[in-house]
């Protein structure tokens, strides 16, 4: 049997999922347009950090995880990747 805390988190997850699906279905062109914009800007940002970061010692590896973060979050995601890579890892 699930605890009440786990049940609450599952319910909140389902509600958030329903809100996201409703937003996509309400205006799919806008949602996918924003996603495409973030993807393009994120990839440009990753390429720029890869090219310019060599001079200052910042290296963000290009793999599926970093491409996914950059694609979903755009430039803020690329900045977060650079910060994590430079100061945390």
- The residue-averaged pLDDT of 32-55 equals 88
What is residue 3's predicted lDDT score, i.e. its pLDDT? 84
**Under 8 Å between Cβ of 77 and 69:** yes
Q: Strands (DSSP E) along 1-87, which ranges?
A: none
**Burial category of 67 from C-beta neighbours within 10 Å (exposed 0-12, middle 13-18, buried 19 and up):** middle
Neighbours of 59 (CB within 10 A): 14
What is residue 14's predicted lDDT score, i.e. its pLDDT? 94
Give the domain ranges of the chain: 28-88
Mean pLDDT of the chain: 87
Q: How confident is the model at residue 18 (pLDDT cuts 50, 70, 90)?
A: very high
- How large is the C-alpha radius of gyration of the chain? 17
Does residue 1 register a pLDDT over 80?
no
Q: What is the pTM of this model?
A: 0.66
What spatial distance separates the first Cα and last Cα of the chain, rounded to whole Å? 39
Q: How confident is the model at residue 5 (pLDDT cuts 50, 70, 90)?
A: confident
Task: For residue 74, give the nearest of 31, 42, 47 by alpha carbon.
Answer: 42
What is residue 50's predicted lDDT score, i.e. its pLDDT? 85
Round to whole Å and give the CA distance between 48 and 44.
6
* Phi and psi at residue 70, to the nearest 5°: -65, -35
């Amino acid at each position: 049997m699930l605890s009440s805390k786990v049940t609450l988190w599952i319910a909140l997850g389902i509600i958030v999922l329903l809100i996201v699906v409703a937003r996509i279905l309400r205006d799919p062109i806008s949602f996918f347009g924003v996603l495409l914009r973030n993807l393009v800007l994120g990839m440009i940002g990753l390429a720029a950090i890869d090219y310019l970061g060599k001079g200052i010692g910042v290296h963000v590896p290009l793999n599926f995880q970093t491409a996914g973060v950059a694609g979903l979050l755009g430039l803020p995601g690329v900045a977060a990747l650079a910060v994590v890579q430079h100061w945390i890892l």
